[in-house]
Structure 1
Amino acid sequence: MMPLFNEHALEMSIMELFKDEDYTYLNGEQIHRERTEVLLADDLKQYLYNRYGKDGITPSEVDSILLMLRGISGTIYEANKSVSKMICDGFILNREDRSQKDLFIELIDFDTPENNSFKVVNQFEIEGINNQLRIPDGIVFINGIPVVVLEFKSAVKENTTIMDAYTQLTVRYRRDIPELFKYNAFIVISDGANNKYGSFFSPYDFFYAWRKVESDDKDLDGISSLVTMIKGLFRRDRLLSVIKDFVYFPDSSDKDLKVVCRYPQFFAANKLFENIKTHLRPEGDGKGGTYFGATGCGKSYTMLFLTRRLMKDTFFRSPTIIVITDRTDLDDQLSKQFVSSKKYIGDETVVSIDSRERLRQELQGRTSGGVYLTTIQKFTEDLSLLTDRTNVICISDEAHRSQINLDQKVRVTAEGVERTYGFAKYLHDSLPNATYVGFTGTPVDGTIEVFGGIVDAYTMTESVRDGITVNLVYDGRAARVTLNQQKVKEIEDYYAKCELEGANEYQIEESQKAVAHIDMIIGDPDRLHAVAEDFIKHYETRVAEGATVAGKAMFVCSNRNIAFTLYKIIIEMCPEWAEKKICADGVELSEKDKKELKPIEMIKMVMTRNKDDEKELFDMLGTKDDRKELDRQFKNIKSNFKIAIVVDMWLTGFDVPSLDTIYIDKPIQQHSLIQTISRVNRVYEGKDKGLIVDYIGIKKNMNLALKKYTNFETDEFEGIEQSITIVKDQLEVLAQMFHNFNSSDFFYGSPKEQLHCLNRAVEYVQLSEELETRFMAAVKQMKQAFNLCSSSEKISDEEKSYIHFYCAVRSILFKLTRGDAPDIAQMNARVRELLEGAIQSDGIEELFETGKHISVDIFSDEYMDKINAIQLPNTKIKILQRLLTQAIDEFKKVNKIMGIEFADRLKHVIDEYNNRRRDEAYANEVLDDVAEQLAKLLEELKGEKESFKKMGIDFEEKAFYDILKAVAKKYEFEYPDDKMIELSKRIKLIVDDKSKYTDWSTREDIKANLQVDLILLLDEFEYPPVTLDDVYKEVLEQAENFKKYAK
């Protein structure tokens, strides 16, 4: 029989891949050390002697370095941050002999990879808090420092995922062996087909695959992605580069922020770095290159990674770096990020500049260093020189807009001729010898002209495929709110004119007549009432149907006056939206939430004040500090602030991952359009896609932008029509599945009958394993599609009712088999109430809560009574199966022989259940018999778990007793029970004596001693000698089992 590709097989295959990359492989049991020690101390000492022997480093100085590392304390995050800085930036060692020059110590030689020791170790046993023993599946050591921890799960186990590996590392290991993660750069979770890495402190959603070995390679999935990750991320020089420059800690963080680069960020920063080297003035042309990255792919972190590389490399002689944005709100966000990154960047002068004069003062007399953040608008005051130095690098954020505008404009006024220039003209004349680098999600031709060619690109297609952003879906609703089709034609003509002229937004603004005319159409009072009415209905339907993850929406208006008018119409229709609340009704708040949240309206306008604003608008818009508070509240999913009405603010560089719907009622140019709609493409738990609702008719322009800027694989955005088709197709499939089931009580019965119908439906779906699998998949696909088209009139009320019915059944079944139901909150409110009632109605609510972490005594009489009270046979069987599987898995860890016996018995009963014929499915006596067998098995397991107490021995001795008993049964001989108990106690003493050495199970001398001691012991107790090999094998396996499942 072919062996299963289990976790051990995966583990060993990964070890082989590391060996291919010239890592030394060791089994942890081969390493002599104290189990509490997580460093390979001998390796680190040897490296230090090799590296600094010529400087006369002494043994006591080497010991002091190890002592310093071990002594770093604080929270895991604080300690990890401190160790990371020591590793990445080095540190000064004060010499014992003060007459000698202090040594600059690097724990890793980043410049010469071959000077380091690279080892990959599996089964490395660690004794942690409260003597807990844990054994990570794999650890990568560089010079004896455990920089990467790997955890594997079997790809062939359906109910085991890499999420389980993530939980094991970040919950159990964090709790029990925190010392290991003090040195950690990042962690890896894998099942062979799915392979991800990320920061130990990051949520699971921020773990990603490394999908390319080199930047120009084709990205790979599945088993190939495992090879790609090892070759691409763990190539020795590559791993050193990632650890040194691409692991980011802010100077301070109350959220334990640590960012490990994604592969597109790594390649982009390095390629830009090399291109800047080539084009640096005075020898080069100053065009450092353009990076074209999909909006939402983390360009700000790529800028940070690049900035650190530029600052740390001696080639650039500590350059001065000026980071420029074209909007104040972008500048605020980027400035905050950079200013809090001084230690990472390696320069204490990281300053946000508020005027040209301030920048002039900062640059005067400075020959190197410094990072300055400003907006392009700060350069419009004059054309005078700021500095003519060549080691100045300008990094432009969103380089597609104002920073490429070099042209002169001439305007004739009553006072005479007035000449003005594009913003970039002022910039280039002020810093004539600087090298310019452009970051953009939407490059236009001028971008290439100013910054140089595209050095690297990361497209929307790649970003969606990598799970870094979500896909976008288009819902066109312009026809519902435009009262005159001639007006639609005029808007289309306006777009065409702008495209024909190649106009940018600044030139368009000069055409006041055209803009004013379009605004008259958009701002028509009757039209705005129609927009408001449709928007309210659409939004409320999505919230009521649980189709939005947090109810966050953005509404983009054409101008300030239109936005204010629309706001007043909406409040007139929904006055309750203007009531100040801390949060929506029914939302549970933690103590932290109560401190952070403030009473606020559900809908707010977000824009800067204008001196000419009427008082009501002026007061409503508030100060800059008020806008910062709006920013904080909108990003908090529990805040009552759900809907932001905007014109220009928050349309670029504003990240709210939970935002999943954007309503657009503004003509937007192609390059700005991609930025705008990308507000809803961020990844968030429960968010499958972002929804764009169009009230102005932007579809044609969107598709042109898609083709021009995103390199998308299709010519058009996905429309909700596809979602509607999926919903209707899946409803048809589900109707066929339920053709023998009478669901009328759910739709027409009393509340009690509805509840009973739901529970009967859950039973029905479990008629066969194949039916259950198909049902769960169909409903999931249907619900994901329905989330996008829940407001469509093409989905009838009857169809919605069936959607609610199927979703409720799925959620009960999901909770029944998995222990929780993450999709339960995203559901129609009425159905959610029904669902809760259905769970409570049959007394199984508490049983559901058992989940993976057993917090109640499942073997108590009270608990068994609750199980026996369940009237639904399939439901009862599923609960018993789940509880037994968990309990047996736990029992195997302390008694392998009996655990296997119980597992075999459970498998036999479940096979009998799964293999029942369909015509027997309604025969309750068959189901009752299976449920009775499972309940009996649970009762017997309860007795077996406690049996050692009655025998006067501990659970380990009981495991050895069961080995002796099983061997006696195999060889068919009788042996006195009292002697067997005494013999098991003596075996435990022998095993305890041998297992005090961490490497005992791989040392042949210790195993030989164990075998000799067992021979003598069995002879002393007159246990038949023919059994020796079996007893030795089982005792050894049980001893290793105790060790293995100490994890």
Structure 2
Amino acid sequence: PLFRSVIELKNAVDENATIKSAYNQLQTYKQAIPSLYTYNELLIISDGWEARCGTLTSDFGRFMSWKTKDGKTEATHLEMQMQVMFDGMLNKQTLLDLIRQFVVFEKSDTKMLKKVSAYHQYYAVNKAVESTVIASSETGDQRGGVIWHTQGSGKSLSMVFYSGKLIIDPRMENPTLVILTDRNDLDEQLHETFTNCQQLLRQEPQKAESRRDLRQLLQVASGGIVFTTIQKFMPMQEDIIQPENSNILQEPAVEYIGADIKALSERKNIVVIADEAHRSQYDFIDGFAKHLRDALPNATFIGFTGTPIETSDKNTQAVFGNYVDIYDIQQAVDDKATVPIFYESRLAKVHFNEDEKVSLDEQFEELTEGEELSNRQQTRAKWTRLEAIVGNPNRIAKIAEDLVYHFEQRNSVLDGKAMIVCMSRRICVELYDAIIQLRPFWHSDDDDKGVIKVIMTGSSSDTLNMQKHIRSKSKRKAIGDRLKNPNDSLKLVIVRDMWLTGFDAPCLHTLYVDKPMRGHNLMQAIARVNRIFTEGKEGGLVVDYLGIGQELKNAIAEYTASGGEGKPTLDQELAVAKMLELHEAIDYQLRHFDWRKFFTLSPEEKLKFIPVIVDYIFSQENGEQSFTENTKNLLKAFAISVPHEKAMAIRDDVALFQAIKTRLVKISDRNEGSKTDDEMETAIKQIISEAITADNVIDIFDAAGLKKPNIEILDERFLQELKDLPQKNLAVELLKKLLKDEIKKKSKINLVESKKFSEMLEDAIKRYHNGMIDTVEFLEKVLIPFAEEMKKADRRGEKLGLDYREYAFYTALEVNNSAVAVLGDNILKQIAQELLKTVRNSTTIDWTIKESVQAELRRNIRRVLRKSGYPPDLQEKAVDTVITQAKMLADDLSKNNTR
């Protein structure tokens, strides 16, 4: 069979059966039954309510919900996500369309990635295809529309899906696609994305290397994907339509910007796909875009953008038409397709004198008033005046000092990387020098080493100090790959213009801005830090050293006026307020306990004090759950707030709360299927504080003052120590944890016993939580006897002379009391041993998914049971139990297979 989709469902009424545990189960299947994924396209996980979809290579953060049944109305929060996914994504038409047109493979530096469309991409692409077909028809207006999907939500991949589907649409008659950008680096990035997906596109995309090359590529009868920049549509002399008696051919081509040129193709099935379709990008009034229209007079235009078209920009709308689809910031953050961006102003940290500040404000305001493009000389003069103020050596030194402090404090909490944006190449280099003065070990002449690099272009006329930062395209790419690698030592890059659009490095969490920017250029730049990364990256941070706050407000106003919901940036003070609110909530929970005493104790006393706090929390109704949840959210808000002075003021408290939470999570049974401690520590660093450094890593049993037991035997000495422990709530949680771990081990090898003990323990815990027995009674009369019963069960197989596999089959037969009464232990032992041999000899690799092998195995098991005199009326139930038990031991049995 071809398993196109694998769906892992968890018990909706089991609080420990989380969607994360469903994901973990799929990862286990990769190792246990890899053939299940040979033809797989989609992986789906659900806890009965929430549901997400991903692929074979998706990490947990990349499993996404499907939010709509029809692509028109988003499901409400009251609707079960699993049902929405079944109706919206897994219906026959959508599923087949997804598999055929919306799955691609992309090769990264380290592995092959398999990607599937998110719901917003799927519906937007299908709308765009229909809009394009209509626009390119005989009665169409050649305006395919604009797709506005916020930055970081997969715009480039949407363009690939759109192109792939349009190419095979018979109504388009094998179209030619022209992918248009306004900069060479964007052209290269987008071309690389398309080239990686050429299996879907059924052809290799071509890149126009020159104006003449572009003309040749467009003079085809049909088909083709051509990448070009808008500048390559500048007229060549032979393209100009010349008036009579004109000597225009003697003039340089640049003089003809705005002149009429000859058509390169008059076909209607040419589609121009513009990346970031904005007036300021393409100059639709008299510039290059006019030549594009003249060259391809019957082409259909469609625009993809990550930021809204300005409401005043009527020319862009005239070229492309209205919005076809909008996926705004609020939707992207809600869907966890991106993280929110927070804004922090650090103007006060630079300490301008008043004259400098007034001068800078005036120059900045004058420069960003919004001159028309024709005023370039005037603008350049203003830029030069502002650059002199911004690039003042004293100011650069102050920024370097503050930036190093800020980044080191931020990275001490949340590991990641940062980009610094300066307004000139000179300032980039001088800021680099100032930072290296403070941190000499961050520098390296080797591009493969060093913590910080400058990324810029240049020429041979540049000064020697600038020359050492100028690199070839391949070397810049190598540094870009280093920045994208979260494990690489490169942590900071300084740029002027490069990498502010189209550069995708999810581990970037901070953008330092010291350059005047506005409009969509500003929006695109700040989006460098909105990518999903580890589960600890709750948001990106934009740090303002120049005063772009008003421009951000203007961008928000423009964004809202365009119909978008959510804000491009959130004030960092919101995170600080949330952090303080959560700190207050935890303090209130511990109000009857003097937890601050911890900071006055010696290292040895601190070690003993933590289990006392833990015991107090366990004594509260829902105390552990409340403390853990509040601390988890406090850590997230703290990571965004650092190094705000209010965050630094409670740093020691947060560190202690984190230490307590770690103990609670390790002891409690609530962490089943949630983040592991390793994942948490990778996402949000343990906060190193002088107040708690003496603790280091404290084992939960050390914290309780106990020696860690041999869990296999739960010896009597350890059980007695638990009984004598003064913190009875802690003792209960420790023993519950150990017993659950032991049952979990049994569940992998012995079906009957693990089920029996699991039900017994759950029943006992339920009675305890319902107040039917107190803590001391629960510990001494329920849990400890329960542990002793489990010890006896472990030894029983040995007493019978059976290994763990034979004993597992023995218990599968013994579950029927009448069979025990009729046959006795010795006969059941012989049957168990015979069954193990039979199962071994009847199984092959992947037998658990081969029905023919399972049918043969059932016949062989029946034969053994009949031959041994097993009661006939109980045989079918026994066969089912033995088969289930055999599947639990599948890996072990397959290793010993002799077939």
TM-score by length of 1: 0.73
Q: Relative to structure 1, is the Cα distance of residues 168 and 219 closer, same or farther in structure 2, using a 3 angstrom cutoff?
A: same
Deviation at 1:303, TM superposition (A): 0.9
Give the aligned partner of residue 249 of structure 2. Answer: none
Give the aligned partner of residue 424 of structure 1. Answer: 289
SS of 1:696's equivalent?
A: coil
Deviation at 1:155, TM superposition (A): 2.5
Deviations 1:251-284 (A, max 9, x none): 8985121111111111122211111111227653
Match of 1:553 among 415, 418, 422: 418
Match of 1:396 among 271, 274, 280: 274
Amino acid at match of 2:571: G
SS of 1:651's equivalent?
A: coil
Match of 2:462 among 593, 613, 620: 613
CA separation in 1, counterparts of 2:115 and 2:824?
Answer: 63
**1:732 to 2:584 alignment:** yes
Deviation at 1:1012, TM superposition (A): 13
Contact residue 482 and residue 488 of structure 1 kept, 8 A: no
Match of 1:465 among 327, 334, 351: 334
Contact residue 324 and residue 376 of structure 1 kept, 8 A: yes
Q: Relative to structure 1, is the Cα distance of residues 579 and 937 closer, same or farther in structure 2, using a 3 angstrom cutoff?
A: farther
Deviation at 1:434, TM superposition (A): 2.3
CA separation in 2, counterparts of 1:604 and 1:993?
Answer: 62
CA separation in 2, counterparts of 1:961 and 1:716?
Answer: 64
Contact residue 420 and residue 511 of structure 2 kept, 8 A: yes
CA separation in 1, counterparts of 2:189 and 2:75?
Answer: 32
Give the aligned partner of residue 325 of structure 2. Answer: 456
CA separation in 1, counterparts of 2:437 and 2:463?
Answer: 19
Give the aligned partner of residue 565 of structure 1. Answer: 430
**1:824 to 2:681 alignment:** yes
Deviation at 1:1002, TM superposition (A): 13
Give the aligned partner of residue 329 of structure 1. Answer: 185
Q: Relative to structure 1, is the Cα distance of residues 513 and 839 closer, same or farther in structure 2, using a 3 angstrom cutoff?
A: same
Q: Relative to structure 1, is the Cα distance of residues 803 and 623 closer, same or farther in structure 2, using a 3 angstrom cutoff?
A: same
Give the aligned partner of residue 907 of structure 1. Answer: 762
Amino acid at match of 1:557: C
Amino acid at match of 2:167: M
Give the aligned partner of residue 291 of structure 1. Answer: 147
Superposed, 1:156-167 pairs within 5 Å as: 156-167=13-24
Deviations 1:585-644 (A, max 9, x none): xxxxxxxxxxxxx74221211111244421111112322222111101111111111011
SS of 1:248's equivalent?
A: strand
Amino acid at match of 1:884: L
SS of 2:540's equivalent?
A: strand
Q: Relative to structure 1, is the Cα distance of residues 987 and 392 closer, same or farther in structure 2, using a 3 angstrom cutoff?
A: closer
Contact residue 395 and residue 439 of structure 1 kept, 8 A: yes
SS of 2:578's equivalent?
A: helix
Deviations 1:823-876 (A, max 9, x none): 23412234785554322882999999x9xxxxxx84168x99889888776555
Contact residue 344 and residue 543 of structure 2 kept, 8 A: yes
Deviations 1:40-93 (A, max 9, x none): xxxxxxxxxxxxxxxxxxxxxxxxxxxxxxxxxxxxxxxxxxxxxxxxxxxxxx
CA separation in 2, counterparts of 1:809 and 1:507?
Answer: 62
Contact residue 557 and residue 665 of structure 1 kept, 8 A: yes
Give the aligned partner of residue 371 of structure 1. Answer: 225
SS of 2:330's equivalent?
A: helix
Contact residue 895 and residue 1038 of structure 1 kept, 8 A: no
Amino acid at match of 2:468: D
**1:696 to 2:546 alignment:** yes
Amino acid at match of 1:312: I
Deviation at 1:163, TM superposition (A): 2.1
RMSD of equivalent CA atoms: 4.0
Contact residue 251 and residue 342 of structure 1 kept, 8 A: no
CA separation in 1, counterparts of 2:522 and 2:665?
Answer: 40
Give the aligned partner of residue 41 of structure 2. Answer: 185
Q: Relative to structure 1, is the Cα distance of residues 404 and 732 closer, same or farther in structure 2, using a 3 angstrom cutoff?
A: same
Give the aligned partner of residue 475 of structure 1. Answer: 344
Give the aligned partner of residue 534 of structure 1. Answer: 402
Q: Relative to structure 1, is the Cα distance of residues 655 and 944 closer, same or farther in structure 2, using a 3 angstrom cutoff?
A: farther
Give the aligned partner of residue 885 of structure 2. Answer: 1042
Give the aligned partner of residue 147 of structure 1. Answer: 4
Q: Relative to structure 1, is the Cα distance of residues 912 and 518 closer, same or farther in structure 2, using a 3 angstrom cutoff?
A: same
Contact residue 289 and residue 438 of structure 1 kept, 8 A: yes
Deviations 1:477-530 (A, max 9, x none): 2233252456656666666666764646x8567522322232233223333333
Superposed, 1:642-791 pairs within 5 Å as: 642-685=491-534, 686-709=536-559, 711-713=563-565, 717-743=569-595, 746-768=598-620, 770-791=622-643
Match of 2:383 among 483, 492, 515: 515
Deviation at 1:554, TM superposition (A): 0.9
Match of 1:316 among 166, 172, 176: 172
CA separation in 2, counterparts of 1:1035 and 1:317?
Answer: 63
The unaligned stretches of length 5 or more in structure 1 are 1-38, 40-144, 409-421, 582-597, 851-856
The unaligned stretches of length 5 or more in structure 2 are 240-261, 891-899
Amino acid at match of 1:676: A
CA separation in 1, counterparts of 2:566 and 2:882?
Answer: 59
Deviates more, 1:286-295 or 1:507-516: 507-516
Deviation at 1:765, TM superposition (A): 2.6
Q: Relative to structure 1, is the Cα distance of residues 515 and 282 closer, same or farther in structure 2, using a 3 angstrom cutoff?
A: farther
Give the aligned partner of residue 140 of structure 1. Answer: none
Give the aligned partner of residue 91 of structure 2. Answer: 235
CA separation in 2, counterparts of 1:206 and 1:836?
Answer: 33
Aligned length: 842
Deviation at 1:359, TM superposition (A): 1.6
Q: Relative to structure 1, is the Cα distance of residues 225 and 910 closer, same or farther in structure 2, using a 3 angstrom cutoff?
A: closer
Deviates more, 1:876-885 or 1:295-304: 876-885
Contact residue 606 and residue 695 of structure 2 kept, 8 A: no
Superposed, 1:340-351 pairs within 5 Å as: 340-348=196-204, 350-351=205-206
Q: Relative to structure 1, is the Cα distance of residues 946 and 726 closer, same or farther in structure 2, using a 3 angstrom cutoff?
A: farther
Give the aligned partner of residue 712 of structure 2. Answer: 859
Give the aligned partner of residue 362 of structure 1. Answer: 217
CA separation in 2, counterparts of 1:509 and 1:627?
Answer: 31
Deviation at 1:792, TM superposition (A): 1.0
Amino acid at match of 2:817: K
SS of 1:564's equivalent?
A: helix
Q: Relative to structure 1, is the Cα distance of residues 898 and 336 closer, same or farther in structure 2, using a 3 angstrom cutoff?
A: closer
Deviation at 1:773, TM superposition (A): 0.8
SS of 2:468's equivalent?
A: helix
Deviation at 1:785, TM superposition (A): 0.7
CA separation in 2, counterparts of 1:624 and 1:875?
Answer: 60
Deviates more, 1:940-949 or 1:367-376: 940-949
Match of 1:803 among 654, 674, 684: 654
Amino acid at match of 1:256: M
Contact residue 665 and residue 696 of structure 1 kept, 8 A: yes
Give the aligned partner of residue 85 of structure 1. Answer: none
SS of 1:474's equivalent?
A: strand
SS of 1:902's equivalent?
A: helix
Deviation at 1:981, TM superposition (A): 5.3
Deviates more, 1:446-455 or 1:780-789: 446-455
Contact residue 424 and residue 496 of structure 2 kept, 8 A: yes
Q: Relative to structure 1, is the Cα distance of residues 605 and 978 closer, same or farther in structure 2, using a 3 angstrom cutoff?
A: closer
Give the aligned partner of residue 298 of structure 2. Answer: 433
Contact residue 155 and residue 191 of structure 1 kept, 8 A: yes
Deviates more, 1:515-524 or 1:228-237: 515-524
CA separation in 2, counterparts of 1:937 and 1:662?
Answer: 59
Match of 2:126 among 243, 262, 270: 270
